[in-house]
Each structure stands twice: as C-alpha cells, then as structure tokens.
Structure 1
Amino acid sequence: MTILGIDIGGSGVKGAPVDTARGELLDERFRVPTPQPADVDSVVDAVAEVAAKFDGFDSVGVTFPGVVVDGVTRTAANVHKSWIDAPAARLFSERLGKPVTVLNDADAAGAAEVAFGAGHDQSGLIMMVTLGTGIGTALFLDGVLLPNTELGHLEIDGKDAELIASDRVREAKDLSWEEFASRVSKYLRHVEMLLSPRLFIIGGGVSKKSDKYFPLLEVNTPVVAATLLNNAGIIGAAVSAQQATTGHGQHPGSIPVDATAPGSPVAAAAHTVNSGEAR
C-alpha cells in the first residue's frame, strides 16, 4: 500500500508519498502556495494539485491547521472561515477519488515525532509545538495523543500566544533571534506553569534554525528540535491514513502512537472517508 501525505499550512500545501514503516519520504516533496484567501474550494484545488504530482497511491492523509473531529473541520484560525464545520474528509475524498484521512496538523507532526523522531521512547507528558504561521500544539502522555489541544491560543499578556511567538510574527516584525527567543520562552514558561511537561519538541519551518535561538531560550523543561523538521506533518498524516485504512485509528478517544507496535494507530481524532461512501 502506497500512502500520500499532504500537509496544509498557512503559507504552503506540500506532500509526498511516505514509507509508513520507516517514517521517510519516498519521493521529493511537492509544494504549492496556500491560496489566499484559503477558502474551501481553493484549498481543495491546491491539495488536488499536489496529489496530481504523484502516481499509484492507495489512500491519502491530510493535515489541517485547526480542530478536526470525525473528518469535519471545527475551527479555522489561519485559513478562511468557510472551513468552519466543513466536511473536509468527504470533500477531499470526492475530489481525489481515494480514501482520505484528515487530522489536526500539529497532532500529525507530533505523532510522527513520537513514532520516529525526537519523542520516540519518551515517557510522561510530551508537548509538540509547531512555530509557523501560527502556533500548533500536540500533547502526548506515555505515547498517547490527546487530540486537538490548540494551546497556541493561550492568552499571553492579553494577546493570543501565536500573535506573540509564531514564526510569522518573527518575520513580520523583523525580530532578532534574541527577541524571538524571549517571546518563545515566555510562551513555553506559561505552558510549564500549567502542565509541567517533561519535554518540548519544537517543529515547524523555524525548527531548521534551532541553533539560532535554542541556546537563548530560558525555560526549565528540556527543549529539542523536531528531527523530522518540516516533513513531520506529511509523515504523520500518511501513517495515520495507513492505519485508519487498514482498520485502525478510528477510535474517537486518545490512541497510542507507537507506529512500530502491531495494531497501534498513530493519530487520534482522524477520520477516513472513502470516495465511494454515501455523500
């Protein structure tokens, strides 16, 4: 079975076929800019454009930058409001003609890191933080995903946290790495106070530049860069789709994410729709 992973971000929609046993891309990823405005029809078109670059895949995993429940997108902080309560899994499946699994983007990235990357074999509470257009978060307790946490919207100094410490804000305000590290530290310390995690895994596009600001972070919890970097969402989406398609990953609650364990699904709150299902 060949699985295609597609990651919808605030600035780009990118995808590639994935080796779901090893957590590796099987081909060079293809990326198109996220449409502006990122309404339902335009984003479905962009996902279809990415999928058209690859042949022979059996099912598709798609990440979405918001809350996803049973294949329906419930929030839309960094995309068009037309996505609120949109039947995303059905829409993508109808367009691509394949079974499609949809899940939150940070949940997918975190699941990939816990299965194959920086969070593998880590016990206790682990938090994945993606710094990009916004701030995405995923929580894992002993390898079990608690889906759709959306802790990037915590209030810091009277503002939404992602309006203070996202990579988009760093670029828009032309922040120095010292200034950016100070803002990220403030956010992470707030999370420390609330949750006392054992490990922060930092992903998103800015994870490639971790050497610029990690040494400047002032937090008590260990902080590591996502080892899968900006491919984590693609990989997590594909592994989720593979396990959902084979009969796993449908449980509505929290699900173990050890992809190496037989029968252990990678993502929670992921829902697969077959192109042949009733509309």
Structure 2
Amino acid sequence: MSKHIALGVDIGGSGIKGAPVNLKKGEFLHDRHRIPTPQPATPDAVARVVAQVIAAFEPSKKTPVGVTFPGVVQNGIVKTAANVDDSWIGTDLRKIIRDYAGHDVHVLNDADAAGYAEFLYGGAHKREGVVLMTTLGTGIGTALIVDGVLVPNTELGHLQIDGADAEEFAAESARERHNLTDDQWIAKLQRYYTEMEKLLWPDLIIVGGGVSKEHDMFLPKLRLRAPIIPAELFNSAGIVGAAAYAAARVKAEEAHTKKQAKKSTPQDV
C-alpha cells in the first residue's frame, strides 16, 4: 500500500468493519469487510475479529491502521464500554489488537473518528476555529476539533441540562422513548445546541447519525449563531476517520523520532 493509503477499522455493537482508505480523497479503495461483533463482545473475542478484518486487506507493516471503539479511550486504555462487554474497562486496546493482529494500530473513540473524518473530508472542509460534531442516535456522540486538532473523548452527550443527561431528551431515540412530536423534539434539540453554543462558541456544528438524512425536517428550524449542517460521510465516517487519524499519528511519531535522533547526534565544534 502507498503512503497515501491507510486502513480503518470500526468496532460497533453489531458489526466490526474495515476498509483501506485513499487519504487524498477520504474514500474507500475497496468494499469494506464486515464481520458480526462476537457475543459476548469480550476483549479477546473482539480483538480476534479485528485482526481478521485487518488481515483481509494484507496491509504492509508500514501501512497505518486505525481502530475505533464505542467508548472513552485514554492513552490506549478503555475507560467506558457502553455497547460492548464491561470487561473492556481498563483494557489496553492498542496492545491487545496489536498482539492478535501482529500489526501496530492507533486507537480512538468512534465519535472522535467520525468527527475527524468530517473535518478532513466532509462538511467542515478543514475549517479553522472550533468545529463541533454531534451524532444523534440511541445517544449523542460528540467530537470537537479546534484548528484542526482533535480534542478527544468530549462525551458532551452526557452533559447535564435541566437535571438530566442531554441525550436522554435530545437523542434521536428520545422521540420514541418520550413519545415526542417532531416540534417537541426540535425544541429539545434547540435547548441542547443553545447550551453547546454557550459553552464552546463553535464556528460550525455538524450533525451526523441516521437522522441526519432527514435534516431538512429539523435543521432549518434551529436558531443558532453558528451554521449547523448535516454530515456528509454517513456510515463511512468511522473507518475513514480511523485511517486518517492513524496516518497522522504515524507521521507525528516519525517526526518525533527524527527530532530525537538529531538531538542525540554529536554536533561539530
């Protein structure tokens, strides 16, 4: 694989899927390979399947590989695991996948990967300033990119608003759970995004999740300072973002290694 190609793998509650990505275009080079998420979704079982997805594309040792996870991932360690087995908490995600796959990987939260992809290749188009990505689904996933730098694990769907988690009343699932009309749900969204603007002052808000395909129904009715637009990459965002993130991390690590080597080289007097 060339230097403009990286591999992304997206761990989901129902499926683990991956594909090689053209980093210039943010597009899949081949159809994605998907394997159902094993049940129970324990670390060993999931890591084994991730290794199979990676192996399906036979990446070279130099090919960056990124892997998303549906939970908080801090320095490679899983801190929360909402849609997989609780035994993941405290697991070194990067190490266990590397051990099974025989290939180094870079890992990140799934919403962060989607947001990073939208920043690079989707609706944000590498816009400077503060970009907030939200995914409206069963819960609310969030990603925050500031001047091109991803701020990891924001988890702003769990922000307490009016005494409750925001996602309890503003996620797409809240419409059915609370039997809300469209107008009632839009009012809840207005409350949520108004609070986001008070806290973050975003320059752009991107809305993803399955409901974003119906964006004409609700986005024009929101009254906000920042432009609010639908996501463009939909189901490919996690894989694309994971691949791009891994490539960026590899590049940063290589630059750091060169800098350290230069420092340790004796200088001519």
Shorter-chain-normalised TM-score: which range?
0.7 to 0.9
* 3-state SS of paired residue (2:232): coil
Query: Any conservation in 2 of the 1:178–1:216 contact (CA below 8 Å)?
Result: no
Which has a greater percent of helix? 2
Give the TM-score normalised by structure 1. 0.78
* 3-state SS of paired residue (2:124): coil
Q: How many pairs are equivalent? A: 251
Establish whether residue 26 from structure 1 lines up as the match of residue 29 from structure 2. Answer: yes
- Per the alignment, residue 272 of structure 1 pairs with none
Give the TM-score normalised by structure 2. 0.81
- 1:32 deviates by 4.2
Task: Flag structure 2 segments of 5+ consecutive residues without an equivalent.
Answer: 257-269
Matches of residues 116-127 of structure 1 in structure 2 within 5 Å? 116-127=121-132
Aligned partners of 1:101, 1:68: CA distance in 2, in Å?
11
Establish whether residue 214 from structure 1 lines up as the match of residue 219 from structure 2. Answer: yes
* 3-state SS of paired residue (1:27): coil
Over 3 Å counting, the alpha-carbon distance change for 1:77 and 1:122 in structure 2 is: same
Aligned partners of 1:60, 1:160: CA distance in 2, in Å?
34
- Per the alignment, residue 103 of structure 1 pairs with 108
1:39 aligned residue (23, 39, 42): 42
Aligned partners of 2:215, 2:67: CA distance in 1, in Å?
26
Task: Identify which range, 54-63 or 184-193, moves more after superposition.
Answer: 54-63
Structure with greater contact order relative to length (CA < 8 Å, sep ≥ 6): 1
- Per the alignment, residue 147 of structure 1 pairs with 152
Over 3 Å counting, the alpha-carbon distance change for 1:149 and 1:185 in structure 2 is: same
- 1:245 deviates by 3.1
Establish whether residue 242 from structure 1 lines up as the match of residue 250 from structure 2. Answer: no
Aligned partners of 2:249, 2:215: CA distance in 1, in Å?
33
TM-align CA RMSD: 2.7
- Percent same amino acid at aligned positions? 51
1:53-80 deviation per Cα after TM superposition (whole angstroms, max 9, x unaligned): 4344634211112222221112223433
Query: Any conservation in 2 of the 1:102–1:237 contact (CA below 8 Å)?
Result: yes
1:137 aligned residue (142, 156, 164): 142
Over 3 Å counting, the alpha-carbon distance change for 1:35 and 1:174 in structure 2 is: farther
Query: Any conservation in 2 of the 1:11–1:133 contact (CA below 8 Å)?
Result: no
2:118 aligned residue (106, 113, 120): 113
Over 3 Å counting, the alpha-carbon distance change for 1:249 and 1:40 in structure 2 is: farther
- Per the alignment, residue 233 of structure 1 pairs with 238
Aligned partners of 1:201, 1:225: CA distance in 2, in Å?
6
Which one-letter code corresponds to 1:233 in the other structure? G
Task: Flag structure 1 segments of 5+ consecutive residues without an equivalent.
Answer: 252-279
Stretches of 4+ aligned residues off by more than 6 angstroms: none
Which one-letter code corresponds to 1:7 in the other structure? D
1:173-207 deviation per Cα after TM superposition (whole angstroms, max 9, x unaligned): 66554343333222111211222212111123332
- Per the alignment, residue 189 of structure 2 pairs with 184
* 3-state SS of paired residue (1:47): helix
Answer with 1 or 2: which has the greater Rg: 2
Which one-letter code corresponds to 1:103 in the other structure? L
Aligned partners of 2:37, 2:177: CA distance in 1, in Å?
18
Establish whether residue 194 from structure 1 lines up as the match of residue 238 from structure 2. Answer: no
- 1:44 deviates by 2.4
- Per the alignment, residue 13 of structure 1 pairs with 16
2:99 aligned residue (89, 94, 103): 94
